[in-house]
Amino acid sequence: MPQKPPNPTGIDAYKPAEIAQRIEEAGVGKTQLGLVQMVALSILAGAFIAFGAAFYTVVMTGADAGFGPSRLLGGAAFSLGLILVVVGGAELFTGNALMVMAWVDRRIGSGALLRAWAVVYAGNLVGAVGMAVLVDLSGTLAGPQGELAVCIAEAKMALPPLEALARGILCNALVCLAVWLTFAAHSVAGKILAILWPITAFVALGYEHSIANMYLIPVGLLNGAQGGIGGLLANLVPVTLGNIIGGAGGVALAYWAAYRRSTAPAAGDTSGDVADR
């Protein structure tokens, strides 16, 4: 009698050690993407996160943006962005902080890691800012939505650098944990559920996501927010650094130490199938 395939119902999750291995293989695969493919997928990711941020803005319009259940609902709406990235397939800078696991094991070099981060970050910026322009041209931000977009942008640009850095660290710890959990899932539904709560939490808690801010701040500036390019950079620089620390250090290195340190492959060994993103 033929044996049943493993996890035929998709209920059982991959174990943490298996997740670590799959994420490391995925990190190797990301460095092997061609430039055109990497740029296209990174622009898509920027646009996908912008869709989530736009959804968040409309859900929060007319609600108390500071406290209460509305923050929970807004966070759930924002989760759309990472769901599109993971299930649809795209390259997101913040999630790619997990590539550090492959780098520490010397499966990828420093140049390949930095190239991937730089290209994806630039592509995410193009996608997010492009979405800000399109949403502004659509006319859907007239009235209260536009006013909220301005308030969100000005609040982000007013953050002190240390506060922005700390919020960036906390944000990407949760984002990378969401990505980590999706590698435990065997089904699309499992991936979506894995994303929902960590992303909802970081939004509800008021943490800072660099790629989301590439949409939220420009769309606010287009609707009259005060701050300009200087204000955008004042937010993005510390938030991006925080995202790297929180994702690469707080999650990737911690799990590498827990599950991969004693089983690291030999230098230059890039064998094995690349796992799904």
Taking only the tens place, the pLDDT of each residue in 72-109 is 999 999 999 999 999 999 999 999 999 999 999 999 99
* Residue 275, domain member (yes or no): no
Please report the pLDDT score of residue 269 as a whole number. Answer: 45
Q: Are 244 and 93 in contact (CB under 8 A)?
A: no
| Angle, CA of 264, 267 and 270, to the nearest 5° | 85
If one counts the domains in the chain, the total is 1
Among 105, 99, 113, 109, which Cα is nearest to 260's? 105
Residue 15, number of CB atoms within 10 A of its CB:
11
Query: pLDDT for 21-55, tens place per residue?
Result: 999 999 999 999 999 999 999 999 999 999 999 99
* Residue 131, domain member (yes or no): yes
Domain that holds residue 95: 16-262
Please report the pLDDT score of residue 13 as a whole number. Answer: 82
Q: Hey, what are 178's tokens?
A: 């969401």
Q: Are 179 and 251 in contact (CB under 8 A)?
A: no
List C-alpha distances in Å: 8 to 5, 136, 167, 183, 191: 6, 46, 40, 17, 16
Domain at 149, CATH number: 1.20.1080.10
Percent of the chain residues topping a pLDDT of 70: 88
Please report the pLDDT score of residue 266 as a whole number. Answer: 45
Statement: residue 113 has pLDDT above 60: yes
Statement: residue 138 has pLDDT above 80: yes
Q: What is the chain's mean pLDDT, rounded?
A: 90
- For residue 175, the one-letter residue type is V
Q: Please list, in sequence order, all residues whose beta carbon lies within 8 angstroms of the beta carbon of residue 275, skipping any fewer than 6 positions away.
A: 22, 23, 25, 26, 29, 183
CA distance 165 to 179: 21
End-to-end distance of the chain based on CA atoms, in angstroms?
34
* Residue 2, domain member (yes or no): no
Most confident residue range from 65-69, 188-192, 270-274:
188-192
Residue 150, number of CB atoms within 10 A of its CB:
19
Statement: residue 259 has pLDDT above 70: yes
List C-alpha distances in Å: 228 to 211, 215, 225, 234, 262: 17, 14, 8, 10, 49
* Residue 268, domain member (yes or no): no
The average pLDDT across 214-222 equals 97
* Residue 91, domain member (yes or no): yes
CA distance 59 to 73: 7
260 pLDDT tier (thresholds 50, 70, 90): confident
What DSSP assignment string belongs to 159-213? S-HHHHHHHHHHHHHHHHHHHHHHTT-SSHHHHHHHHHHHHHHHHHTT---HHHH
The average pLDDT across 52-79 equals 87
Q: Where are the beta strands (DSSP E) in the chain?
A: none
- Give phi and psi for 266, each to the nearest 5: -65, 150
Statement: residue 19 has pLDDT above 50: yes
* Residue 10, domain member (yes or no): no
Statement: residue 12 has pLDDT above 80: no
- For residue 119, the one-letter residue type is V
* Residue 174, domain member (yes or no): yes
* Residue 271, domain member (yes or no): no
Please report the pLDDT score of residue 262 as a whole number. Answer: 59
Lowest-pLDDT choice from 50-64, 72-86, 111-125: 50-64
